[in-house]
Structure 1
Amino acid sequence: PAPDLYQGQSLLPLVRGEAPQNWRTDFFAEHLMDRDNVPKWEGVRTERFVYARYFGQSPVYEFLHDLHVDPDQLENFADDPNYQDTLSRLRQRTDAFKAEYESAREAHR
């Protein structure tokens, strides 16, 4: 087994052709490195949507991509009124993931 510090689940059931138990429907990603020309960002990916927000700058900039409509992620739907409920839900999900992982990081310092 992996150490408790690592998050996630074994991919072995997938390799065996089995349906994994409690398989997640989304995941959190972040880039926190302080690098020139690479802004910090965090977000959530679901089967249908990709949400990312760039922070540490003013104003915060958000992307929302609908993979069913735009699989190449060329169009940003964050300002589209038809996507405001989705945007709100993914913002909240990002905040929840961020709080969970910050808590885990603090526990291992």
Structure 2
Amino acid sequence: MFTILIQEKGGEQRRMVFNKAEVTIGRVQGNDIVLPKGNVSKRHARIVLKDGKFIIVDLKSTNGTYVNGRKITSPLVVKDSDKIYIGDFIVGVDEAGSAESDAPHEPPTN
């Protein structure tokens, strides 16, 4: 499970749950999370859950991706206390509500 929190500045927060280890964020359909504002690039960012850690990757967006007010220039590990700014939206990860489902699992023992 992969839980993302999204809030437009001044708006309601919504929660989206994914059953995969990677989600894309952008302005157009085809992204896992669509943020329909002009200051969000068509394919803006990607969040990956790897080895129990969330990693935010900016996809060469026009306006940049910011974590806690600082523009990221390379993939960055984020925690649930971090605020990811994409255009007019604040995005967060919910570590408590997420579990890495795509990771290799131990085979059942008989």
Answer 1 or 2: which has greater helix percent: 1
Give your verdict on TM over 0.5: no
TM-score, with length taken from structure 2: 0.29
Q: Which has the larger radius of gyration?
A: 1
The structure, 1 or 2, with the larger RCO (C-alpha pairs under 8 Å, 6+ apart) is: 2
TM-score, with length taken from structure 1: 0.29
